[in-house]
């Protein structure tokens, strides 16, 4: 059932289904909450699953011309307050993972566990910032070009044919994202903090999925840092950036196990 709440001067769209302990699903850049339909259908059999359209995406309005990860996290907290949810697991894909980490920084008392699904707790390096700036300039002129290049690049080459139908659906949904929403997200992502310190002495459990052929995330520095974080669980997946599509069964099994583990404590 779709719902809307007011956050500052914008309408925020979210859905919820199921009963029990709460699991929050946050989508990635150029996606919306519908990306979680298969995952939420399974998880909601045991948990209360909340999916949220992030600022400037899906049916949620733009708040401004820069959507920082902290702003996104504060918006998520507003939704959780509305639903009277105190302790949650947050599962974030890509940009949704950045928001999850910002939420953990701002509201650690509300976190039972965080899953970074093809995401990272590291900040953008200078090359990535430069790439985002170039992308922003192109988007301002013709966002469709960037979207049509970006979406196929999220899948491993071997999976572009296997998951052609899914890829076309994601592309169709991405093309609905407003120019302002795209730029604001890129501006927010490029200035996000390195939050790896949160995982060195955290009070919540953490699971990280890494795609072996993920070109959207800088996996080499991520793997190196993870070697210093023995308490963080890591799952390596065959495929690219869309692990929950390219490896749905494995991801679902690991997410179910992670949720059980988090809610035991």
Give pLDDT, residue 232.
Answer: 95
What count of Cα atoms within 13 Å lies in the side-chain half-sphere of residue 89?
Answer: 27
> Measured between alpha carbons, how far is 13 from 55 in angstroms, rounded to an integer?
9
Low-confidence ranges of the chain (pLDDT < 50): none
Smallest CA-to-CA distance from 95 within 173, 227, 188, 214 is with 188
DSSP state of 171: H
Over residues 159-196, the pLDDT tens digits come to 999 999 999 999 999 999 999 999 999 999 999 999 99
**Comparing C-alpha atoms, which of 239, 238, 235 is closest to residue 117?**
235
Topology of the domain covering 2-264:
Rossmann fold (3.40.50)
Q: Are 220 and 212 in contact (CB under 8 A)?
A: no
Residue-averaged pLDDT of the chain:
96
Per-residue pLDDT at 1: 56
pLDDT of residue 59: 97
| Ranges of each domain in the chain | 2-264
Give residue-wise pLDDT tens across range 122-154: 999 999 999 999 999 999 999 999 999 999 999
Q: What is the 3-state secondary structure (H, E, C) of 141-158?
A: HCHHHHHHHHCHHHCCCC
Give me the residue label for tokens 């200035």. Answer: 191
- What confidence score (pLDDT) does residue 130 get? 97
pLDDT of residue 216: 95
pLDDT of residue 48: 98
- The pLDDT of residue 265 is 63
Q: In the chain, how many H helices and how many E strands?
A: 11, 8
State the Cα angle at 151 between 150 and 152, rounded to 5°. Answer: 100
Distance CA 85, CA 96 (A): 19
pTM of the model: 0.97
Closest Cα partner for 189 from 123, 130, 134? 123
pLDDT of residue 203: 84
Tokens of 78: 């507003």
């Amino acid at each position: 059932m779709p719902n809307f709440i007011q956050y500052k001067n914008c309408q925020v769209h979210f859905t919820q289904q199921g009963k029990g302990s709460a699991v929050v699903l946050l989508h990635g850049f150029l996606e919306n909450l519908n990306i979680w339909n298969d995952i939420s259908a399974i998880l909601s059999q045991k948990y209360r699953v909340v999916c949220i359209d992030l600022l400037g995406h899906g049916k949620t309005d733009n708040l401004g011309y820069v959507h920082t990860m902290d702003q996104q996290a504060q918006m998520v907290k507003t939704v959780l307050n509305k639903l009277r949810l105190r302790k949650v697991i947050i599962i974030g894909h890509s940009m949704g993972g950045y928001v999850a980490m910002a939420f953990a920084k701002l509201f650690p008392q509300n976190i039972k566990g965080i899953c970074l699904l093809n995401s990272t707790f590291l900040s953008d390096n200078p090359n990535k910032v430069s790439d985002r700036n170039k992308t922003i300039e192109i988007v301002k002129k013709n966002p469709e070009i960037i979207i049509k290049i970006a979406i196929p690049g999220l899948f491993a080459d071997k999976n572009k044919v296997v998951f052609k139908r899914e890829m076309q659906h994601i592309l169709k949904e991405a093309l609905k994202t407003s120019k302002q929403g795209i730029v604001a997200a890129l501006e927010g992502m490029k200035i996000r903090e390195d939050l790896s310190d949160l995982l060195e002495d955290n009070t919540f459990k953490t699971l990280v999925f890494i795609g072996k052929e993920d070109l959207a995330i800088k996996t080499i520095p991520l793997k190196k840092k993870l070697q210093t974080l023995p308490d963080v669980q890591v799952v390596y997946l065959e495929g690219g950036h869309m692990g929950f599509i390219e490896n749905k069964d494995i991801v679902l099994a690991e997410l179910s196990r992670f949720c059980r583990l988090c809610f035991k404590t």
